[in-house]
A and B are shown apart, each in its own frame.
Chain A
Amino acid sequence: MIVEIPYKELASLLKVKASLEQIVKALDMFGTPVDEFDKDILRVEVFPNRVDMLSPEGIARSLDGFLGHSVGYPLWNLMPSGIETVVGKSKTRPFISFSSVQDVPFTEVALKSLMQLQEKLHVSIGRNRRKYSIGVYDTDKIGKQVTYKEMPLKEIEFKPIGEKSEMTGYEILESTEKGMDFAHLLGDTAPVLMDEKNRIMAMAPITGADYCKVTKDTKNFFVDSTGTEKGTDSVVTLITTSLVQRGGSLGIVVPGPTYLPRRMKLDQSYLNKITGLNLTKTKLQNALLKMRFGFDGDILIPSYRFDIFNKIDIAEDIAIAHGYTKFKGELPPSYSPGESLKVRELEQEIRKIMTGMKFIELKTYMLTSPSLLSMAGSPTLEVTNPKSSEYSTLRQSLLPGLFDVLSINTNAQYPHNVFELGHIFTPDEKLKLSGIIAHTDANFAEIKAVVDRLVKMFSIKAKWELGNHPFFMEGRTALSEFGVYGEVSPAISEKFGVPLAAFELNLERIL
């Protein structure tokens, strides 16, 4: 996921002094590579394991440690928030967490970053708000008590952010942009948050009320996350620990994150064994501090790092702190005999015979359009969700793809001798070999000679008999259990203006 980070904002948030080039290089080697940048904007790719870096504040926090300025567990001022909550039952979004941040020096640019962070979290870990959604409010507008409960849509009435007047729950779902986008997540009721005067602050997971929205002048922030699964504490943490990076203090609300670190034992021998390093305990600790873990005998994992499942995740952070480029690479002294798949070897032998007979190998798509297959007549194997009908059906024969190639190559000098070896689906996977000869004198005898040669090389005795096949010409079609060959039906070759002769063999019968 790409986030846009204003360079000036990042530079002002960083405690360490670093040039643009140093920052770009550090981000590349931290695992959040810079996709594009100029002096105003860095476009940073943040992978799903480091959603704590979806904001300039989060990136600054990590880089300060990585560049060696502010290492170790982030020091947050923790204060009681003084906000009471009343949490009722919600059937649509049963999980809820709250938290707050106080006395944050806030700006217009910071507001933009907060909006971006909220949106990116909605899309990524929020799974488009289905799993989790987030609300952020100006604490000074809502007072000291917040209520969470489920309400019928018709009873909900407030003025949503960006709207001119009060609207009912139904009106919001039917006529606002966000309402229409996410109406499918609600039934006839919606979870709402109300302030101490019972004003509706937000209707989850759709929108907040205009009166308590965050502006560039907001100092104190109240944050909630509602969800259909547990984990809302972590989501709230991602917002608040990003905000508090600017200054101010975290205010604890119940239910909500406690900001206590998780603990893990430092397993020195495991970490060295799996990384291939040989670091002393002190060096390991220093590496951990650089990645902003704490250490007091145990590893202290900041609560925004919920990508840390077990000690292998610690190992990766050690490796990143050590520097990926410093791994020189070493091969283990083990012996193992390599062994190829027999079928792959035989396939390549067949390709050699075909090229020896002056055929050019083609690779065509396995996914094709139903129209290209309609002539084959048998039922097709379709994907259930194609983006385009051009790639919607698995091929049942290699021949339509080859016809297609020849049809766009009529300007190339003849003869055209082409073949393909590949899988088809009927619906079982089968390995086939097909070839086509196209030139002014292409005929049954010429293609028979090719098939005879192939078959002889594999000591196969095939009994060919005249038969019928939709791609081939009546009276010039040879069939057997090994496949089909003959002159291509003039209904097909008339489009090319030259006669075609072709074959398709079942390689399962041969290999």
Chain B
Amino acid sequence: MHPSEAKLMRLMKEKQKAKASDLSQSLGIGKDIIGRLAYSLSKKNLLTIEKVKTRTSRLTSEGKDVLKNGLIEKKLLKKLPIEPNKLQGSEKIALNWALKRGWAEVKEGKVVRIVEKTPTTNEEIWLKNFKKLSHEDSKLKVLKKRKWISFKEDFDYIICLTEAGGVKEIEEQITQMTPAMLVNGKWKEKKFKAFSPNTPVPQIYAGRFHPLNEIIQKIRRVFLEMGFTEVEGKHIESTFWDFDALFVPQDHPAREMQDTFYMKGKQELPELAKSVADIHKKSWGSWSKREAQRQVLRTHMTSVSAHALSKAKPPAKIFTIGKVFRNETVDYKHLAEFHQVDGIVFDENVNFNNLVGYLKDFFRKLGFKKIRIRPAYFPYTEMSAEVDVWLEEKGTWFELGGSGIFRPEVVKPLTGVDVPVLAWGLGIERIAMLYYGLKDIRELYKSNINWLRNREVFL
């Protein structure tokens, strides 16, 4: 038995029957808690509990005034005789009572007193003793009618000891173990209350990673397991590295202001810019150094791959993860900035079938057992392929990444050699949307603390 239950049972053995409000005073615990304890004990047939409505009466300010200064009709008698129209406020009510009681009457347009002494009325006696009156007593209603008292509705519990309760031996059960009990060995004599695993307890809020970070770390592990080396780059990039080095013509629509964020200032070009310029002039007719020096917020992580490729010697396997930026109107499908991952394999002996092999391995490690590739187009790859993953639970294909082999027009100016470079990339936020079933991509950046605290782990 819980210590509080034990206290209540001991008191009930004395009283047999009691109101929770009275028990509350003697035990120093709230009425509601008494009710809850008694309810739990009633489940064990030790007590019965019945909820009852109660009514308490309280003096109003008018009631207090009567107790202090006497009945208003008695006060009025002292002012008589007087013309009725000179009476004000409550004196008019007092007049009615005085007339009704036969203490005064109206004669020749004036109110005059007709008794010498006034008796002590029943109402006065009742009011003095209103607390002793039972709730049902009609005398209280009279007092209420004169607005001397007001009622307050409430409830209480009537608690009775049952027969079983009368004979039950009360033994106290310990809820919280204390260091003292452990030290002095008292724990051996104590009974400990059993706890229900179904009782709610206060929640713990753990510190957690952001879901996007969890996905990023997972992808990093996958690439490292596959033997790739991690690289990084700057968020502010020259259009040269973001576009020109990737064989995107200088008048390509993707480079226009409505798709790409431009920044003030310009960047120096590397020495190999000359080879890139040559290939542009040959293929697209023109190339401007000034255009290539402009600064943008990188639009894809392939710009970082291009940097890395220009420093690499085959064979090399490289990956990078970071934020990219698009001058999009932000809506449920589009963000102005999001994370991308890009991986490349720079190797004399690789081919398109190997790309498919890497993609299968990569996506399998991310939890997608079945993938499919479809022909696609990117300015810097040929062959190009869209990667779809099979969603078992939805029974559909879902486009999750782009891939291909870098064009010789990209590889040769950057590396000096014509060696295949397999490449693929994907957006991290798309995986997060898929995993968490989000309908609106902005949810990932709304940072709803409740969601971040309670969301499932990413596996």
Interface centre among A313, A324, A351, A416 (most CB of B within 10 A): A324
- Is A386's CB under 8 angstroms from B327's CB? yes
Q: Which residue of A lies closest to B206 (CB)?
A: A358
A336 x B382 contact (CB < 8 A): no
- CB contact under 8 A between A412 and B330, given known A327-B352, A385-B262: no
Say yes or no: A388-B209 contact (C-beta < 8 A), given A312-B408, A332-B349, A364-B445.
Answer: no
> Is A316's CB under 8 angstroms from B382's CB?
yes
Which A residues are CB-close (under 8 A) to B350?
A: 332
Chain A 285-310 near chain B by CB (<8 Å), digits 1 or 0: 00000000000000000000000011
Does any Cβ of B come within 8 Å of A475's Cβ?
A: no
B178 at the A interface (CB under 8 A): no
Question: Which of chain B's residues has its CB closest to A405's CB?
Answer: B447
- Contact string against A for B residues 160-201, beta-carbon threshold 8 Å, 1 for contact and 0 otherwise: 000000000000000000000000000000000000000000
The residue in chain B whose Cβ has the minimal distance to the Cβ of A30 is: B375
A residues in contact with B208, CB < 8 Å: 355, 360-361
A383 & B357 in contact (Cβ 8 Å cutoff):
no
Given A338-B227, A343-B232, A383-B262: A356 touches B327 (CB 8 Å cut-off): no
Report the minimum CB–CB distance from A438 to chain B (whole Å): 10
Q: Is the CB of B352 within 8 A of A341?
A: no
Interfacial chain A residues near B377, Cβ < 8 Å: 31, 47-50
Interface code A349-368, partner B: CB below 8 Å = 1, 0 otherwise?
00100111111111111110
Q: Is the CB of A316 within 8 A of B384?
A: yes
List chain B residues, Cβ under 8 A from A277: 353
Q: Which chain B residues border A187 with CB–CB below 8 Å?
A: none
Kindly state the separation between the CA atoms of A351 and B211 in the bound complex, as whole angstroms. 13
Shortest CB–CB separation between residue A453 and chain B, in angstroms? 13
Q: Which residues of A contact B386 (CB under 8 A)?
A: 33
The answer, yes or no, to whether B337 is at the interface (CB within 8 Å) is yes
**B227 near A33 (CB under 8 angstroms)?**
no
* B231:A337 contact, CB within 8 angstroms: no
Report yes or no: A274 in contact with B236, Cβ–Cβ below 8 A: no
Contact B357 A337 (CB under 8 A): no
CA distance A383 to B223 in the complex (A): 33
> Interface readout for A227-251 with B: 1 if CB under 8 Å, 0 if not?
0011100000000000000000000
User: Are B361 and A336 neighbours in the complex by a CB distance under 8 Å?
Assistant: no
Q: Which one of B232, B236, B409 contacts A309 once the chains associate, using CB atoms below 8 Å?
A: B409
- Determine the interface band of chain A, counting residues with CB < 8 A from chain B: 35 or more
Q: Are A310 and B408 in contact (CB under 8 A)?
A: yes
Q: Are A324 and B375 in contact (CB under 8 A)?
A: yes
B382 and A312 within 8 A (CB): yes
A-chain residues with CB within 8 Å of residue B444 when the two chains form the complex: 363
Contacting pair B449 A357 (CB below 8 A): no
CB contact under 8 A between A230 and B327, given known A47-B377, A324-B375 = no
Q: Are A276 and B372 in contact (CB under 8 A)?
A: no
For A265, list chain B residues within 8 Å (CB): none
Interface flag for B226 (CB, 8 Å): yes
- Evaluate contact between B357 and A329: CB separation under 8 angstroms: yes
Residue of B nearest to A384 (CB): B262
A366 touches B207 (CB 8 A): no
Instruction: Map CB proximity to B onto A372-384 as digits: 1 under 8 Å, 0 otherwise.
Output: 0000000001111
- Given the interface pairs A127-B251, A330-B357, the reply to whether A344 lies near B384 with Cβ below 8 Å is no
| Nearest CB on B from A4, distance (A) | 20
B134: A residues at CB distance < 8 A: none
Given contacts A344-B230, A418-B449, contact A274 B409 (CB under 8 A): no
- Given A276-B353, A360-B453, A408-B446 in contact, is the A383-B337 Cβ separation under 8 Å? no
Does A429 contact B283, Cβ atoms closer than 8 Å?
Answer: no
Say what secondary structure dominates the interface of chain B: mixed
A455 to B: closest C-beta gap in Å: 18
* B435-451 contact mask (Cβ, 8 Å, vs A): 1 or 0: 00000000011111110
User: Is A28 an interface position by the 8 A CB rule?
Assistant: yes
Q: Are A274 and B405 in contact (CB under 8 A)?
A: yes
Check A330/B408 contact, CB under 8 A, given A316-B382, A338-B227, A355-B208.
no
Residues in A with CB closer than 8 Å to B213 are 351, 361, 363
Question: Is B286 a contact partner of A229 (Cβ separation < 8 A)?
Answer: yes
Count A/B pairs, Cβ under 8 Å. 230
Minimum distance in angstroms from A278 CB to a CB of chain B? 10
| Contact (Cβ within 8 A) B206 A355 | yes
Say whether B220 faces chain A, with CB atoms less than 8 Å apart.
Answer: yes
A127 touches B448 (CB 8 A): no
CB of A51 to closest CB in B, whole Å: 11
Nearest neighbor of A314 in chain B, beta-carbon distance? B382
| Given A329-B360, A331-B361, A357-B207, A366 and B353 contact (CB-CB distance below 8 Å) | no
A365 and B337 within 8 A (CB): yes
Query: B374 and A274: CB pair below 8 A?
Result: no
Flag if B354 contacts A31 (CB, 8 Å). Answer: no
Are B405 and A366 in contact (CB-based, < 8 A)?
no
CB of B317 within 8 A of CB of A336, answer yes
Chain A nearest CB: distance from B306 CB in Å?
18
Q: Quick one: given A325-B373, A330-B357, A385-B261, are A348 and B383 in contact (CB under 8 Å)? A: no
Q: With the chains together, A124 CA to B210 CA distance in Å?
A: 40
Q: Is B257 an interface residue (CB 8 A)?
A: yes
Chain B CB within 8 A of A70 CB: no
Interface residue? A19 (CB, 8 A): no
For residue A327, which residue of chain B has the nearest CB? B356
A-side contacts of B261, CB under 8 Å: 367, 383-386
In angstroms, Cα B71 to Cα A6, docked, is 99
| A83 contacts the other chain (CB 8 A) | no
Q: List 30 A-B contacts (CB under 8 A).
A: A30-B375, A48-B379, A276-B353, A309-B283, A312-B408, A316-B384, A319-B375, A332-B354, A336-B229, A337-B227, A338-B225, A341-B231, A341-B232, A344-B230, A351-B213, A354-B207, A362-B452, A364-B445, A366-B235, A366-B325, A367-B297, A384-B261, A384-B262, A385-B258, A385-B262, A385-B327, A386-B261, A412-B450, A417-B207, A418-B449
Q: CB within 8 Å of A: which residues of B?
A: 203, 205-210, 212-213, 217, 220, 223-232, 234-236, 251, 253, 257-258, 261-264, 283, 285-286, 297, 315-317, 323, 325, 327-330, 336-337, 347, 349-354, 356-361, 372-377, 379, 382-386, 405, 407-409, 420, 444-450, 452-453
Shortest beta-carbon contacts, A-B, top 3: A276-B353, A31-B375, A47-B377
